[in-house]
């Protein structure tokens, strides 16, 4: 536990997993990723990164053209980025940034499985049956 909270469940799961190459890092990815020089970085997850939906706050966003370039350089060949947002315009923007880079492609099978959802969609399914 790094004292920030929120990481206990994932770090506990990593500690009991049957792998020795699973790590969680709490950092500012835009600043720290390049300096980490992880030689075998194969998966990056970016979950709800940008609460800054207003244009005047665009410079605060995590997923920027520079960050996409950094990820493209840092990931191993065939590496994956899982990214999601609950703000449709920001999700569309992130999608365009990754596809526009050229090093990334949409996993049609994964997208078909997970697709798009809206807030509250799927909640309560199966209840009361």
> Which residues belong to the active site?
50
Instruction: Give the helix ranges, DSSP H, for 37-116.
Output: 65-74, 88-101, 108-114
Residue 37's closest CA among 3, 94, 75?
Answer: 75
> Which of these, 46, 95, 53, lies nearest to 75 by C-alpha position?
46
Our CA angle for 103, 108, 110, nearest 5°, is 100
Going through 23-107 in order, the beta strands assigned E by DSSP cover 43-47, 80-84
């Amino acid at each position: 536990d790094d004292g920030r909270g929120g990481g206990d469940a994932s770090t506990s799961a990593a500690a009991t997993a049957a792998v020795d190459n699973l790590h969680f890092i709490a950092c500012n990815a835009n600043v720290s990723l390049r300096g980490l020089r992880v030689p075998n970085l194969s998966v990056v997850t970016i979950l709800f990164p940008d609460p800054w939906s207003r244009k005047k706050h665009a410079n605060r966003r995590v997923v920027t053209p520079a960050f996409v370039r950094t990820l493209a350089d840092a990931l191993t060949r065939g590496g994956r980025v899982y990214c999601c947002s609950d703000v449709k315009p920001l999700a569309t923007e992130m999608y365009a940034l990754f596809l526009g880079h050229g090093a990334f492609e949409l996993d049609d099978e994964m997208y078909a499985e997970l697709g798009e959802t809206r807030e509250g969609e799927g909640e309560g399914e199966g209840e009361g049956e």
